[in-house]
Amino acid sequence: MYRYTAFDRRQVRQRAAQYRDQLERHLAGELSADDFRPLRLQNGWYVQRHAPMLRVAIPYGEVSSPQLRALAHVAREFDLQDRGQPTQRGGFGHFSTRQNIQFNWIPLARSADAMDLLAEVDMHGIQTSGNCIRNITTDALAGIAPDEVVDPRPYCEVLRQWSTLHPEFAFLPRKFKIAVNGAREDRAATGWHDIGLTLVKDAAGTVGFEVAVGGGMGRTPIIATTIAQFVPWAQVLVFIEAIVRVYNLYARRDNLYKARIKILVKAEGERFVRAVHDEFQALLADPATRPIPTEELARVAACFADPVQARSEPAAAAPIDLDHPPAFQRWLARNVHAHRLPGYRAVTLSLKRTGQAPGDATADQLERAAALAERFSAGELRVTHQQNLLLPWVREDELPALWAAARDAGFATPNIGLLTDMIACPGGDLCALANARSIPIAAALNERFEDLDLQHDIGDIALHISGCINSCGHHHSGHIGILGVDKDGSEWYQVTLGGSDGSELSGPAQPGKVIGPSFAADEVPDVLEAVIDTYLRERLGGEPFLHAVRRLGVAPFRSAADEVRRSTAHVEAVA
């Protein structure tokens, strides 16, 4: 993991002090709610349904055991409330698709204290919200994936530093998200980002980036366009500076929904690409422009040296030991992943289980995850895009012990990549933007498809649920997407099929297709069952769900879904 220097540490502490000054001015009446809002947002403080929501940055998803314990402390001491309904008392964190963690119940008056506490473990909420460059995200298997071309983490860290408190880009037209992928398989959904960076090597082995711009979800789902095939790594910040400057100067600011870079790229097309390349060339021609110094990349990269040594002796037979129960074999098949280092595996701790919302972890669970990481994974964890935790450095011969410990802690549901490993935003229960609730839908689907035999039979499938069109639950990219919509004050759910995040299984990134008018909340589990039954009936051999949808089109799934309409049967008849 990256090790903070004294300078890095001072930045975070000085930022916390700056925030405290702003909060105090606000509480004293000097700083109005309107003027305070953009300032608190850029420190991760939203005002939500019940209290402010704090989003803490987990840069490119890497977190240490001590940091996880500090997050547990925040959950217990700041988030947990002694008033309100039992379901409204907090005490837990929610991991998001952008590898961050959110808390929902911290009173604003205590927000500066929470920032001080986080700063003690090099954590913060800097640029986790607001119209600025957000947390850089990447592959949860960065640095350990067997199919990796270049480890993206040193570049992510350089990008993190460059984008942190960048004075020119603090007030962009809209939020700006950058994802980096260094592997052959795209596990970072780069096509769905404002900038998607893919590390590549040219014929001579020189490292560079393929740069795609203008992807995004929301009301207008668009896949990013590649505007440079190869930018040498040392120039990548210059190239990004050119993109963001063109965006800052020329994107629309008159309409919130037209302000993302995807709209500018779409509207201007070639003119946008030319403007970026012209700006890039002008910057390169300037003697004051500095590429990333080789020694700086080397300094950062040294932090990401393997914390363990490859094991030369053959691993113990444990993983294929048939004496272990079927549940262990199932866990091995779903939650344990291949590793670049011989003798090691990466293991996902599933945060998708009955009784808790997808991606949620209580203070106790955060501490237990921290302890598992210490015992089995060199004290390091990753937050995955699918809202789980991952242990990156697990010895193969310790898998049985880890399985037992993870089961004790409730992290061993063998459902990674299966139907109940769904992505879901917090939805209307917690989020002020949401049009509908996500958590009860997720719970109902979890209950309906609880049977692991059935889930394993269905196989790989990505179910994504968003409570509104802001798409925090990435419904557009779900093989099955569910979108909460509001009509006349009630909750309805639109279902899409065939969306893709751009991974090998899913094919090129693309948004799903809607199957008819929205469904009522109580119809959703039946609709999903009808869709799944259609798949199980129509699939050819081991054909995955998504491939079957592509082959068959949405029509047979749509008619199966219409068959189970009850309250919306009339709506359907007149639509």
Partner 1 sequence: MNLLTTSDALPSGALLLANTDDVLARADEIRRHPSVVLQFPKWTDGRAYSQAVLLRGRLRFTGNIVASGDVVADMAPLLRRCGFDAARLRADQRLETARRTLGHFDGHYQATLAERHAAAAG
SS3 of 221, please?
Answer: coil
With respect to partner 1, which residue has the nearer C-beta, 205 or 287?
287
With respect to partner 1, which residue has the nearer C-beta, 8 or 450?
8
Which of 125, 69, 77 shows the shortest CA–CA distance to 105?
77
- The continuous run of DSSP H or E covering 333 comes out as helix 326-335
With respect to partner 1, which residue has the nearer C-beta, 167 or 489?
167
* Shortest Å, Cβ 170 to partner 1: 6
Amino acid (one-letter) located at 21: D
Q: Is the dihedral of CA 551, 553, 557, 559 positive or negative?
A: negative
Going by the DSSP 8-state scheme, the letter that residue 223 receives in this structure is P
User: Helix (H) and strand (E) counts for the chain?
Assistant: 18, 21
With respect to partner 1, which residue has the nearer C-beta, 287 or 542?
287
Residue 254: other Cβ atoms inside 10 A: 7
Contact between 418 and 456 under an 8 Å Cβ cutoff? The reply is: yes
* Shortest Å, Cβ 246 to partner 1: 9
Going by the DSSP 8-state scheme, the letter that residue 69 receives in this structure is H
Tokens 């991974």 map to which residue? 503
With respect to partner 1, which residue has the nearer C-beta, 32 or 567?
32
SS3 of 300, please?
Answer: helix
Which of 439, 423, 376 shows the shortest CA–CA distance to 95?
423
Contact between 432 and 104 under an 8 Å Cβ cutoff? The reply is: no
Which residues are CB-neighbours of 43 under 8 A, at least 6 positions away?
15, 19, 115, 124, 125, 126, 128
Query: In the sheet where 207-213 sits, what is the strand order?
Result: 137-138, 178-181, 195-201, 207-213, 225-232
With respect to partner 1, which residue has the nearer C-beta, 220 or 289?
289
* Shortest Å, Cβ 21 to partner 1: 7
SS3 of 444, please?
Answer: helix
With respect to partner 1, which residue has the nearer C-beta, 21 or 504?
21
With respect to partner 1, which residue has the nearer C-beta, 249 or 327?
249
* Shortest Å, Cβ 182 to partner 1: 22
**Residues facing residue 56 across a β-bridge:** 101
With respect to partner 1, which residue has the nearer C-beta, 249 or 310?
249
* Shortest Å, Cβ 244 to partner 1: 9
* Shortest Å, Cβ 293 to partner 1: 12
SS3 of 209, please?
Answer: strand
Contact between 503 and 478 under an 8 Å Cβ cutoff? The reply is: no
Amino acid (one-letter) located at 479: H
With respect to partner 1, which residue has the nearer C-beta, 14 or 206?
14
CA distance 535 to 2: 45
* Shortest Å, Cβ 473 to partner 1: 27
With respect to partner 1, which residue has the nearer C-beta, 35 or 408?
35
* Shortest Å, Cβ 470 to partner 1: 19
Q: Is the dihedral of CA 362, 364, 368, 373 positive or negative?
A: positive
* Shortest Å, Cβ 286 to partner 1: 7
Q: In the complex, which residues of this chain contact partner 1 (CB under 8 A)?
A: 7, 10-11, 14-15, 17-18, 21-22, 25, 30, 35, 38-39, 131, 161-162, 164-172, 245, 248-249, 253, 282, 286-290
* Shortest Å, Cβ 3 to partner 1: 16
* Shortest Å, Cβ 164 to partner 1: 6
